[in-house]
Structure formats: C-alpha cells, structure tokens
Amino acid sequence: MIGVKNLKTPLIIIFLFISIFVACLKYSQYETIKQKEIELNKTLELIESDLQAYKLEYNRTYRDYLNQKLSREDIENAIKRVLFLKNRLIELNASKEDIKSVDNCIKDVYALQEESKFYTALKQSRSCAITASDSLGSILAVSNRTKLIEYAQEELRNLTLMKNEVEEEWKKILERGVNFTDYMVVGLIVEEDILKAEIFMNDSCNFLKRLQKMPNPQTPEEIENITILGGWVGGYLEFARSFLEDARVLMTRVNSGNFSPNELEEDVYALRDYLLSIDVPCNSTKFMAAVACDWKEYNKKLGLMGAERGYYSAAIYYLLYAIAINEHISEFKALDLAFNSTKTPADRVKIVLNLRHEALALLNSCPQDPITSLYVSDAVGWYFKQGDIILEHMLEFRREDTTPQPIYSYEMAKIIAKKMCRASILYRMNNSRNSCS
C-alpha cells in the first residue's frame, strides 16, 4: 500500500505539470492569434486610411483626344468583324458559353459607344474579335485541324499584304508633313500597332508550325494541349489583324502640318545609342527584378525596331521606357530584399504605401496634355491601378498580401512617370522651337 501511494504522488505531479503546460500553450496560441488579429487590423487601417486620403488625380486627356478622331461608323465597322466571327462559331456548333461571351462583349462595346468613348469602344470591339477567334481556333484544332491550318496560312498571307499596304500608306502620309501633336499621339499608336502586328504574326506562325507537327491527340491532356495551341493560333492572328485595322483607321485621322518626323531622327539615334551603352543583360532570380527585366527587353525590342524602320514616335516611347526600367533595375533588387526582410505585415505595408505616395506625387504633378498623358498611360492605367486593386482586395477579404506585386506596380508607375513626364516636356519644347523658326 505504501508503494502504491508513493507511485501516485509523482503521477499526480506529472499530470499537473502537463495540465499547466497545455494551459500555457493554449494561452500562448490564443495570445498569438489575438496579436495577429491586432496586427492585421492595424495593417488594414493603414491601407484604408491611405486609399481614402490620397487619390490619383491624373486626367488621361489622350483618350479624349483620340475619341474625337473616331466616329460611330468606325465602331460599327469593327463590330461587323465580331459578328462575322460569331457566325463562324455558330456554324461550328460552338458552346453556348462561347457565344454568350462574345454577345456580352458586344454589349460592352455598345455601352461605350453610347458614352461617346469611341476609342475605348474600338479597342473593346477588337477584344471581342480576339475572344471569338481564340474559340474558333480551339474548336478547329480538335474538330478539323486541316481546315484551321488552311485558314491560318491564308490569314497570314492576307495580313502580310495588309501590313505592307498600311506601311506604304503611312509613309506617304508622313512625307506630306503632319501635325506634331497628331504624330506624337495618334502616330505613336499607328506605329506601335504596325510593330506589334508583325510580332503577333510571327508568334502565330510559330504556333502554327508547332500545331502541324503535333500528332493526333489521344488522351484528355493531349486534347487540352492542342485546344490551347489552336486558340493561340486563332487569337494571335486576330491580334495582328486588330492592330493593323486600328492603324488603318487612325492614320487617316492624322491632320496635315509642317512637322516632319525626320526631325526626331537625331534624338531617336541618341536614345538608341544611350540604351545600348548602359544596357546590361538581366539574370536576376528575384521576382521584381526578373519581371522588370522582361519588360525592359520587350520595350528594347520594339524601340530598336521602331528606330530601324523610321517609326520615330514609337521608337522614342519604347526606348525611353526601356531606359527607364534599365536605370532602376538595382532599385527593384533592393525592393525585393527589403520586402523579404520585413518582420510584420505593417512594416511591409509601410514600404508599399511609401512607394504609392512617391508614384502619386509624380503622376499628379505630371503635365496632362495629350502627349504626356499617352506617355504615362501605362503608369496611370495599368501599374498604379493594379497596385490599388491589390490593396482594395486586402481590405475586402481581410487578408495580408504575401506577394510583392503592389510594390512592383507602384515602383513601375513611379519610374515611368519620372522618365516620361520629363521626356514629353522636352519634345514639346523642341516642337515649339521648330514652330517659331
């Protein structure tokens, strides 16, 4: 009996110890959860306060400028292409979802048209056509690949002829002399559309070659892969057609004047040579720097193409864009390091908001004429907007964002505004001197 009593005592002590330990652990977990909730509330309050107090006031006047260049007839003509592709889908027994997607897209076009947002309506109608062509290519890739290949080959031939015609007509317009603002705004879009059309035609051709080499699909995975590839063939062809159609419409709206784009040749070559002298290959594995490097290479490619072909408005825009990113690659790397070194969500958000304020200050102080507005449109309409959308989602879903995306977005908005606002002012001053002389 004495032995049993002696045995119970240590067991009771151990049980008490375990009970106390478990209680302490639960309390610690509770405190941790409570602390995290407090930290999250503090973080979300910072974001909410900032979004309410500091807003983007930049007015993209280039859209108004372009809206005045277009008409309802232009939108109706663009919609005809969408309806043609929709009928092709109906003939191929496309799904109700595919047809509904095109119909909803067309409704959006008409809504924009009624608001007299003709340029936005034109771009939206092109998006509808691309959506329809993507579906068309996906269906034919599985149901009748031979027909898709024949269609794609014929479309590539037609687009090549169309591109040559557009380029020749654009060259004649420029030789006659143009209005400076028209060239820098409308001309930029015409020239970049021609360059982009060529890139998408080449990509579509490469997709087509891949499609021709693929064996007939047997498994669900193979069917899915060939469906995606067919969609790319159809979609990229329509991208190219849309760019050329837009260029064809817009270039007839460029007013004549005494400005010759050749006056910018020296500036373009100076920018090109400067970019090539400072450009270094990007091999960063850090998220922000790697993405920025990809965009730099894309803009460098278009900038050099524009310089080579005498598309000086587009060349200036893309060369400046590439230079801006290249000059700030080290900042992207530093931001990656700072982001990954933060200890709390609040610290991370403070980095985001500091960048947001820097971008806001630059954008809101940037001139708002059509040229500058077009030059900073990506910074305003894409990067800054995307940063704000991510912050708004954090508020809506009460979560802390673990990606550096908003930091990247605000940094891109900042560097584009810094480079493009100054550049646009210089070219307006240059034009003013030419006009007075």
| Residue 410: per-residue pLDDT | 93
d(Cα 243, Cα 333) in Å, to the nearest integer?
Answer: 35
What is the number of other CB atoms lying within 10 angstroms of the CB of residue 92? 15
Per-residue pLDDT reduced to its tens digit, 301-336 = 999 999 999 999 999 999 999 999 999 998 888 888
d(Cα 335, Cα 411) in Å, to the nearest integer?
Answer: 9
Phi/psi of residue 436, nearest 5 degrees: -80, -25
Is the per-residue pLDDT at 31 higher than 70?
Answer: no
Per-residue pLDDT reduced to its tens digit, 169-178 = 999 999 999 9
d(Cα 15, Cα 76) in Å, to the nearest integer?
Answer: 82
Amino acid 40 reads: L
DSSP-based three-state secondary structure for 259: strand
d(Cα 364, Cα 360) in Å, to the nearest integer?
Answer: 6
| Residue 349: per-residue pLDDT | 83
| Residue 195: per-residue pLDDT | 96
What is the number of other CB atoms lying within 10 angstroms of the CB of residue 120? 18
Amino acid 92 reads: L
Phi/psi of residue 256, nearest 5 degrees: -75, 160
Q: For the residues 391-414, what does the mean pLDDT come to?
A: 81
166 neighbors 194 (Cβ within 8 angstroms)? yes
* Percent of the chain at pLDDT exceeding 90: 64
The set of residues, in sequence order, having a beta carbon less than 8 Å from that of 49 and lying 6+ positions away, is none
CA-based nearest residue to 187, from 170, 166, 168, 201: 170
| Residue 350: per-residue pLDDT | 85
DSSP-based three-state secondary structure for 59: coil
Q: Model pTM?
A: 0.84
d(Cα 344, Cα 170) in Å, to the nearest integer?
Answer: 56
211 neighbors 129 (Cβ within 8 angstroms)? no
Is the per-residue pLDDT at 437 higher than 60?
Answer: no
Structure tokens at 417: 């505004």
